[in-house]
A and B are shown apart, each in its own frame.
Chain A
Amino acid sequence: MILKDNLGPDGDAFYNALMDAHEGRDESESHALNARLVLMMANQIGDLEVLRSLLEIAAATPQKQD
């Protein structure tokens, strides 16, 4: 699992591409897009152990409280 920077100089470009993909969508459409993305990215990674670690860390990351 890679948690140090792996996108290099393309980080900003990716982040903006992600925002662009969500542009003009209402919340439910955005959720559906995210769900598709998660499924496709999981298949791209294709390694259950890596995926489990990613799920664990994502789930353990505390949500920002207002």
Chain B
Amino acid sequence: MAYDYAPFPYVPPTGLTAPEGRHPVVIVGAGPIGLAMAIDLAQHDVKSVVLDDNNVVSVGSRAICWAKRTLEIFDRLGVGERMLEKGVTWKVGRQFHGAKEVYSFDLLPEPGHKYPAFINLQQYYVEQYLVERAQEFPGLIDLRFLNKVTDHTDHGTYVELTVETPDGTYALEADYYIACEGAGSPTRKRMELAFEGQTFEEHFLIVDVEMETSPFGDHDTPERWFWFAPPFHNGQSALLHKQPDNIYRIDLQLGPETDPKEEATEARVIPRIKAIVGDTPFRLDWMSVYKFRCAKLERFVHNRVLFVGDSAHVVSPFGARGGNGGIQDVDNLGWKLASVLQGDAPATLLETYNEERTHGSAENILNSARATNFMTPKSPIEALFRDEVLNLASDHPFARKLINSGRLSNPCSLEGKSLQTPGDAPQHPGWPLMDAPLVGPNGQTWLVAETKGQFTLLGFGQTALPEITGIARLGINGQHDYPCFDDIEGHAAQRYGADHIYLIRPDGHICAAFRSPEPKEIQAAYDRARGINA
């Protein structure tokens, strides 16, 4: 059944008739990034206005692969469990050369995590869930559909916007302006900021088909299947994913000499799908032809204008690093902007959003560009090396590791960045929180679910954690006057080492580790993590 694209209501904004007063935050774009941004800020008690020139969710499935780290962030934002329930869980990827399987990988081989390595879920569902979640904050999130930003000016201490609606144009002012408009970001273009990188010449066809019979054949478990030189398609590569509602994503590489308009037609697409699924009945749900591109802004912070998600950086797909990278931006910026607006941290803390997320996006671009280079050889010699890697892979394990059909999104490490206090522990300062199952007064829970949205000190056993203003405490295998949980299965102690104390940031990254509960050291690390210089 095709998704019902019900439009969101347009309400004429107050600004059309009277000045609105200055808003703390305006978010431009109500895609997954803008919506998640608004929810994150609302959970930190920060009001925002979300403007979108459209009034429906994403047309077409677009971003479908949501990584474990993203689901953990969405858990904090209150939509993780709903996404997990609806999504198709998978963790195994199989790679074929021709008809022959050469290598498979398991992305989450160990138990003891609330969320799986990946789920597949159409972007329209993600946006729908996020809109519905945002509507749970009527006093904090002001969602305005059919509100198109046509101009903005940064006045140094605030930003002024011009917004077009079906009823005319109005002006808005905000302390901070967050651009979450996607790859084509009009804000970026208005500011004439360089968006530099690499465009790949190959065209890819992306098709969603609905069918009752699984194209995975006897394989009941949904997986990620990738073909080099597929037997059913005269091209370099093909990819197959399962989505909810019996929708299957098929990506086919078409080569550089392609007319994108001609290819994105039923007449051309149906025979290509029939070559894969044979006579099995199917319905075309959505299709698009695109080129790969990797590019980023040099800086994501431009005084009062902040860039988040695809408006700051784009990567080629096949690594699930676009949407997942953007959600990590949100996670990184939310608590920092809230701290700055609420006077808990200096405005310079925002500069560390730039530091940490330009690093994260550079890592995503590096990985995506490498995968794309492998998948789309640019010369006969590149094709030769690629083919010989695939040849050797049948018999030799080392070559299987070189096959690159996308290095799937991993959580970004912020180790060595300025907010982290260097330290020696099994989980390094800078790493995102590794999940573990816990048992508490309300039964079974998870570490990622108990350390949400605030600075938290994590300790084990009888070591009493000191009380420090602004820091929550969480004990494992101990009894103290703060929330304590039991590590029945032993995963937490094994992952964290029971003789360490960790300070966790509101975005779930570890920012310091200690051997003993020394309040002065903990306070210093806490200040450092908020950009406060001692």
Q: Which residues of A contact B (CB under 8 A)?
A: 31-32, 35-36, 38-40, 43
Contacts and interface: CB of A to CB of B under 8 A. Distances in A.
Given A35-B384, A36-B391, 14 more contacts: A31-B381, A32-B384, A32-B391, A35-B385, A36-B388, A36-B392, A38-B385, A39-B385, A39-B399, A40-B392, A40-B396, A40-B398, A43-B398, A43-B399
B394 to A, nearest CB: 12
Contacts of A38: 385
B389 interface: yes
A35 B388 CA distance: 7
Contacts of A35: 384-385, 388
A39 B389 contact: yes
B59 interface: no
Nearest to B396: A40
- B interface bracket (residues with beta carbon within 8 Å of A): 10 to 19
A31 B398 contact: no
B402 interface: yes
Interface in B361-409: 381, 384-385, 387-389, 391-392, 396, 398-399, 402
Contacts of B387: 32
Contacts of B398: 40, 43
12 contacts: A32-B384, A32-B388, A32-B391, A35-B388, A36-B392, A38-B385, A39-B385, A39-B388, A39-B389, A39-B392, A39-B399, A43-B398
A31 B384 contact: yes
Interface in B396-432: 396, 398-399, 402
Nearest to A31: B384
Contacts of A43: 398-399
Nearest to B402: A39
Contacts of B399: 39, 43
Contacts of A36: 388, 391-392
Contacts, number: 24
Contacts of B391: 32, 36
B384 to A, nearest CB: 5
Interface in B98-136: none
A38 B388 CA distance: 10
Q: Ordered nearest first, which 10 A-B pairs have the shortest CB separation?
A: A43-B398, A35-B388, A36-B388, A35-B385, A35-B384, A32-B388, A31-B384, A36-B392, A32-B384, A39-B392
Q: Which of B388, B389, B391 has the most CB of A within 10 A?
A: B388
A31 B387 CA distance: 12
A40 B399 CA distance: 8
Nearest to B391: A36
B260 to A, nearest CB: 33
B395 to A, nearest CB: 11
Contacts of B402: 39
B448 to A, nearest CB: 34
A55 B94 CA distance: 32
A65 B434 CA distance: 58
Contacts of B385: 35, 38-39
A31 B382 CA distance: 12
A33 to B, nearest CB: 9
B419 to A, nearest CB: 29
Contacts of B381: 31
Interface in B225-252: none
B502 to A, nearest CB: 32
A43 B393 CA distance: 13
A39 B385 CA distance: 8
A40 B389 CA distance: 10
B491 to A, nearest CB: 32
A45 B381 CA distance: 22
Contacts of B389: 39
Nearest to A43: B398
A32 B381 CA distance: 9
Nearest to B389: A39
Contacts of B396: 40
Interface in B254-284: none
B139 to A, nearest CB: 54
A35 B389 CA distance: 9
Contacts of B388: 32, 35-36, 39
A38 B381 CA distance: 13
B75 to A, nearest CB: 37
B349 to A, nearest CB: 36
Contacts of A40: 392, 396, 398
B415 to A, nearest CB: 20
Contacts of A32: 384, 387-388, 391
A43 B398 CA distance: 7
A39 to B, nearest CB: 6
A31 B381 CA distance: 9
B283 to A, nearest CB: 43
A31 B383 CA distance: 12
